[in-house]
Structures are given as structure tokens and as C-alpha cells.
């Protein structure tokens, strides 16, 4: 009998040594009773040195005293599966392992100890550490079970410090207490993507993009969550550097013509010469006027703006030159004009081409004599102002047609800046988009970071008859409608999309057009519901097709 028992034990020992995972058993006092060959390889400690010792003396892990899987299995009477811990091998090197523990019973079903399997995760961790994005996993209690090297770099917290800690202690972000992507992913079973701001170990704020998903075990049971983390701080810094490089005051451009204008602005502003800004509506003439004023010696004085095309002729004269009491019926008090209010500052006459001929004569006198006379006044007033005028009209043609005075044209045309339309400087569109998103995010408390590639294609090929103003209005509407962090085609007005596609090259037309619900149904039917093939035929990404289907209520098609 004894011989058979020995043979039986030897047979079991051979079986254990054939198992690829480390296996060991302990008695109720946590003393090691059996210890296979794989456990020797993982720890570097031979069987004869391990048998009889307390398991914490062999494996030396932080979990040994506070979160021991074997002890927990024996206390609860049920297995503990796939817990990640770091043990110390015989050379004091950390070895990441996954452990599972169960209760060990005798022949009569009485618990006599525990059995634990250990699997080295070094290869898996090496793969994870080679991923450029941060990657970490949590258990169902939101305690970190893995933390790769990129996560260490992003947070400044080491792997050993992070393991076992609640993830909110490591990332310290505002969403941790209310809108945690990981909690939402585990609760819904869906992948959650979001941009959040964390605080790293040095108390520095960082913008990161996170993507969280549910983590399942081999039986399909939820065992926690996994999240990838991408540091957007370098991208944000690059954007800031780019914006700084191509920004002049509130103007942005990388266009050579615009850059030459920026180069002469300070010299123009330093003089008191009259400046004439010519450009189409919406090109930013007022921004140029403001920049000249802010750079000039008159910057401490007022900048007064009058749009000659916005007021009727009957009001325009009194608005510019002012009115004295009794000048006409209804003039019951002295009312200073814009010129009088502009003393010591800059007077900007926008759309000067709309100025009526009688007022052109009066304006010429102001420019030549530096004085003006309010309606009903007995004596003129000195005009200590610097003039900037602007128009989208062709004043040379108007002079030839007799609708604009030639002497006034020569008087305002001392320094001329011709501002190119947006269609002639398309390279500025990405910069303007970035600037606009930053502005409208602050205005509407949004977090829109960029526009989708197919949206940018349409913007780059649109003619923009309304120039920068049209682009900004379009983006403002899109930011208001966008609920995520990226502007999609569905956030743009349909009329804009259709008109832009007509002017776009064939490849952009195909990917930019939003098809009708009937067209989507037909394409899906032609491909037996295969979304990949349908998206390929429509010339869009699969995710874009999915958004269109969701928009039309075809998500279950």
C-alpha cells in the first residue's frame, strides 16, 4: 500500500512538473507542501529550498500580507481567478505574474490548505510596454491590476506604486467622481472614448485622450476594465507653437501675401498716415484696423468704427460729425459725433465706398484741414484723429463712373493694404479652424478638439464667398450642434455640404456627400448588409457609414 501511495504521489508530481504554469500547494498555515518545476523556473528557487517554507518567504510579493489570493480562497471557500501581482525572484528582480488560487480538500472533502497556479506575464507585459500609448487595467473594484511603461511616463507614477491603487488616486481627473469612462464602459459593455484633463505627479495638468472597454475572462465573465491613454499635451503644445508662429495680433496666416502684410504692419502703425484696406467682405479688414490701432502711438486713445453702409444717409452725417441743439427739428440737445468722440484715437470708416457724395466732400475737408463742423455749429472743431478706411468695392471704377470723388480717393489711398480672399490662401483654413474651435469652446463650454478628415477636405475645397466670416459662422454652428469632440459631416448644414461637393475633386465628392436613406438602403442591400463593403463603395470610413445609419434610424439594418 505504501509503495502504491509513493508511486501515486510520484505520478502526481510528474503531472505537476508537466504543467506549463507554476503550481504549488500550501497547508492551512501557509507552508509550501508541493512545488512544481515551472514554479522553480519562475522564481529561480529550487524545490528543495521551497518545500516547508512559508509561501511569502518564497514569492515575496506585496499581496502576501494584505491581499493573498490563497488565504482569500480558503477564507471565502471559493476560487480567486486571474489576479495580477509582482513577485521577487531569487535575484530580487520583479516578475509580473497572474495567479489563481483554490481551496485544497482531502479525500473526505475537508479543507486542508490551498493550491495556486502562477503564470509569468513578462512576455505579455513586454508587449504592452512596447505600445506607445498608455495602457492600464482595473478589477471590478477599480483597482489597477496592470500599468504599462507609457502610463508611467504620462502620470509620473511607477508600475509598482500604481498596482493595487484605485485608478482615481493615480489620474486625479474631474471625471473620476462623476463621468468615469471606465465605469461607464464596464456598466454598458461599450467602448467609451473621451478627452479629459489629468494631474500628473508633478502637479502638471495634461490633456489626454482615453478609450475604455470592458475586460472579460476566458469564460466571458466581466473581470474589470481596460483603458488606453494617449497624451495630447505634445499635440496641444505643437498647435500653440504653430499658432504663435503664424499669429500677428488677432490675425493668423501662413500665406506669403498675408505674411508680407504682417511684416509692414508695425511700420505703418508707427506713422500717422491714412491707411486704405481693400478686400472682399469677410476677409478681416476690421481686424487689420484694430491691429494697426493697437500697435500705434494712439493705442491709449479710442478706436471708433463707423460702417458707412449700415446707416441711412440722413443719419450718417449727424452720426459722424455730430449735432448741435436747434440744428433741425428734433435736435433738442447737443450730441457729439463719432469724430468728436475719437479725439486722440483712430477713426475707422468701414465700407467707405458707400459714403454718399455730399459726405465725401465733408470727409475730404477733415482729411485736408484736420477739422470738422457739427451740424448747427458756428465754428469748426479740430480733429486729432488718425484715419483708416476700408471697402470691398473697386474705388477706381467708381471714380471713373463718377460715384466716388477722385480727390478723396487719392487722399485716403496713401498706404494701401490689399487683403487676399480666403480662397487664395487655403493653407490658412486649418489654422483658422483651430483658432475658431478654441474660441467657440470657451464661448459655449464645449470640448471640440478637431474636425473629421472628410469635413476638412470639404472646407479646403469650398470657395468661401463669405471668406473668413463665412468659415467662422459655419464652425460656430457646428460646435453648437456637436455633442462629441470632433465635428462630423452631419454637424454641417446640408446646403453647405452639397455646394462644396460640387466644387470638389471627384475623390472628395464621393467621400463628402451625405447620401439619402434610400441610397444607403440600396448599397447595404447590394452588399447583403456588409457594412465594410458598403462603406467602401460609398467612399467613406465604416464609422462614417454607421453614423449616417444611426442618423436615419438604420442602426439595426
**pLDDT tens sequence across 29-39:** 999 999 999 99
Give the pLDDT mean for 404-418: 95
Dist CA 68 CA 61 (whole Å): 9
pLDDT top residue among 118 and 551: 118
pLDDT digits (tens, 9 = 90+) for 483-535: 888 898 889 988 888 777 655 554 444 444 567 777 788 778 777 788 888 88
With 60 as the cut, is the pLDDT of residue 4 above it? no
What are the CA-CA distances from residue 6 to residues 1, 10, 17, 85, 299 (Å)? 9, 6, 16, 35, 100
- pLDDT class of 235 with cuts at 50, 70, 90: low
Helices 517-526 and 542-551 cross at an angle (nearest 10°) of: 130
**pLDDT reading at 55 higher than 70:** yes
Q: Which three cell numbers stand for residue 387?
A: 484715419
- From 124-128, 234-238, 425-429, the region with the lowest mean pLDDT: 234-238
Secondary structure letter of residue 313 according to DSSP: H
Give the whole-angstrom CA distance, residue 97 versus residue 466. Answer: 63
Higher pLDDT residue, 525 or 43?
A: 43
Are 13-120 and 124-231 in the same CATH fold? Answer: yes
* 500, 471 Cβ separation under 8 angstroms: no
Q: Which three cell numbers stand for residue 104?
A: 485544497
The pLDDT confidence band at residue 557, using thresholds 50, 70 and 90, is: very low
- The C-alpha atoms of residue 86 and residue 222 are separated, in whole angstroms, by 22
Q: Which of 409-413, 479-483, 528-532 has the lowest mean pLDDT?
A: 528-532
pLDDT at 237: 62
How much is the mean pLDDT over the chain? 85
Lowest mean pLDDT among 119-123, 406-410, 447-451, 492-496: 119-123
Q: Which CATH number fits domain 423-551: 1.10.8.60, 1.10.3720.10, 1.20.120.1200, 3.30.360.10?
A: 1.10.8.60
Q: pLDDT at residue 169 above 50?
A: yes
Looking from the CA of 487 toward its CB, the CA atoms found within 13 Å total 27
256-419 adopts what CATH topology?
Answer: Rossmann fold (3.40.50)
> What are the distances in angstroms from CA 188 to CA 176, 213, 222?
17, 9, 11
Is a pLDDT exceeding 90 seen at residue 411?
yes
134 vs 154: CA distance, rounded Å: 7
Identify the pLDDT of residue 481: 92
Give all strands of the β-sheet with 192-199 in edge-to-edge order.
144-147, 134-138, 222-231, 205-216, 192-199
| Cβ atoms of 39 and 85 closer than 8 Å | no
Of 175-189, 230-244, 425-439, where does mean pLDDT reach its minimum? 230-244
Question: Quick one: average pLDDT of 437-460?
Answer: 88
Is residue 310 very low, low, confident or very high in pLDDT (cuts 50, 70, 90)?
confident
CB 201 within 8 A of CB 155: yes
Q: Which residue has the cell 484633463?
A: 197
Alpha helices in 67-223 (DSSP H): 69-76, 122-130, 149-155, 159-162, 167-171, 181-188
The percentage of the chain sitting over the pLDDT mark of 90, rounded to a whole number, equals: 41
More confident residue, 339 or 516: 339
List, for residues 73-84, the tens digit of each pLDDT value.
Answer: 998 888 988 787
**Which grid coordinates belong to 470?**
463665412
Give the per-residue pLDDT at 511.
47
Q: What percent of the chain has pLDDT over 70?
A: 91
Distance from C-alpha of 374 to C-alpha of 338, rounded to nearest angstrom: 10
At residue 20, does pLDDT exceed 60? Answer: yes
Architecture of domain 124-231: 2-Layer Sandwich (3.30)
Bridge partner list, 397: none
* Contact (CB, 8 A) for 309 and 366: no
For 65-174, strand residue ranges (E) read 80-88, 94-105, 111-120, 134-138, 144-147
- The per-residue pLDDT for range 88-143, each reduced to its tens digit, is 888 888 787 888 999 999 888 899 999 999 988 777 777 778 888 899 988 888 88
The domain ranges of the chain are: 13-120, 124-231, 256-419, 423-551
Say which range, 62-66, 78-82, 216-220, 437-441, has the weakest mean pLDDT.
216-220
Q: Return d(Cα 409, Cα 115) in angstroms, integer.
A: 97
Q: Does 3.30.450.20 match the CATH number of domain 13-120?
A: yes
Gyration radius from the chain CA atoms: 37
Amino acid at each position: 500500500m505504501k509503495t502504491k501511495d509513493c508511486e501515486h504521489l510520484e505520478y502526481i508530481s510528474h503531472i505537476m512538473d508537466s504543467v506549463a504554469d507554476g503550481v504549488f500547494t500550501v497547508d492551512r498555515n501557509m507552508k509550501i507542501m508541493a512545488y512544481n518545476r515551472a514554479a522553480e523556473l519562475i522564481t529561480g528557487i529550487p524545490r528543495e529550498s521551497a518545500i516547508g517554507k512559508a509561501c511569502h518567504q518564497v514569492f515575496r510579493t506585496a499581496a502576501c500580507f494584505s491581499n493573498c489570493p490563497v488565504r482569500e480562497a480558503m477564507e471565502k471557500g471559493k476560487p480567486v481567478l486571474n489576479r495580477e501581482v509582482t513577485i521577487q525572484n531569487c535575484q530580487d528582480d520583479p516578475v509580473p505574474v497572474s495567479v489563481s488560487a483554490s481551496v485544497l480538500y482531502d479525500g473526505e472533502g475537508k479543507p486542508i490548505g490551498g493550491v495556486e497556479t502562477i503564470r509569468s506575464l513578462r512576455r505579455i507585459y513586454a508587449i504592452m510596454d512596447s505600445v506607445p500609448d498608455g495602457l492600464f487595467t482595473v478589477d471590478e473594484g477599480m483597482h489597477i491590476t496592470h500599468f504599462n511603461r507609457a502610463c508611467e511616463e504620462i502620470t509620473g507614477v511607477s508600475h509598482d506604486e500604481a498596482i493595487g491603487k484605485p485608478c482615481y488616486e493615480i489620474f486625479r481627473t474631474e471625471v473620476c467622481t462623476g463621468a468615469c469612462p471606465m465605469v461607464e464602459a464596464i456598466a454598458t459593455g461599450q467602448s467609451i472614448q473621451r478627452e479629459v484633463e489629468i494631474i500628473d505627479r508633478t502637479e502638471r495638468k495634461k490633456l489626454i485622450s482615453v478609450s475604455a472597454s470592458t475586460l472579460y475572462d476566458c469564460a466571458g465573465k466581466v473581470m474589470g476594465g481596460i483603458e488606453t491613454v494617449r497624451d495630447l499635451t505634445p499635440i496641444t503644445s505643437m498647435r500653440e507653437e504653430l499658432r504663435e508662429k503664424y499669429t500677428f495680433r488677432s490675425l493668423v496666416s501662413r500665406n506669403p501675401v498675408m505674411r508680407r502684410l504682417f511684416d509692414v504692419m508695425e511700420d505703418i502703425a508707427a506713422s500717422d498716415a491714412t491707411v486704405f484696406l481693400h478686400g472682399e467682405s469677410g476677409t478681416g479688414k476690421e481686424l487689420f484696423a484694430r491691429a494697426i490701432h493697437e500697435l500705434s502711438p494712439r493705442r491709449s486713445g479710442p478706436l471708433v468704427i463707423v460702417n458707412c453702409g449700415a446707416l441711412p444717409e440722413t443719419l450718417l452725417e449727424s452720426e459722424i460729425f455730430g449735432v448741435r441743439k436747434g440744428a433741425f427739428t428734433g435736435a433738442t440737445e447737443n450730441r457729439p459725433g463719432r469724430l468728436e468722440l475719437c479725439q486722440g484715437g483712430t477713426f475707422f470708416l468701414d465700407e467707405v465706398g458707400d459714403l454718399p457724395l455730399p459726405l465725401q466732400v465733408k470727409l475730404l475737408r477733415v482729411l485736408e484741414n484736420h477739422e470738422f463742423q457739427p451740424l448747427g455749429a458756428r465754428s469748426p472743431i479740430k480733429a486729432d484723429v488718425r484715419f483708416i478706411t476700408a471697402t470691398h468695392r473697386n474705388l477706381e471704377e467708381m471714380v471713373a463712373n463718377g460715384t466716388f470723388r477722385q480727390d478723396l480717393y487719392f487722399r485716403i489711398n496713401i498706404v494701401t493694404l490689399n487683403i487676399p480672399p480666403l480662397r487664395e490662401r487655403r493653407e490658412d483654413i486649418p489654422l483658422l479652424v483651430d483658432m475658431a474651435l478654441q474660441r467657440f469652446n470657451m464661448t459655449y463650454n464645449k470640448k471640440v478638439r478637431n474636425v473629421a478628415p472628410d469635413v476638412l477636405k470639404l472646407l479646403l475645397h469650398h470657395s468661401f464667398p463669405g471668406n473668413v466670416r463665412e468659415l467662422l459662422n459655419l464652425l460656430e454652428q457646428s460646435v453648437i450642434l456637436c455633442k462629441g469632440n470632433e465635428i462630423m459631416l452631419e454637424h454641417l448644414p446640408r446646403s453647405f455640404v452639397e455646394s462644396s461637393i460640387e466644387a470638389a475633386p471627384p475623390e472628395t465628392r464621393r467621400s463628402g456627400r451625405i447620401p439619402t436613406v434610400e441610397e444607403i438602403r440600396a448599397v447595404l442591400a447590394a452588399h447583403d448588409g456588409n457594412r465594410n463593403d458598403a462603406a467602401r463603395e460609398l467612399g467613406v470610413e465604416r464609422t462614417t457609414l454607421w453614423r449616417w445609419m444611426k442618423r436615419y434610424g438604420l442602426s439595426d439594418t
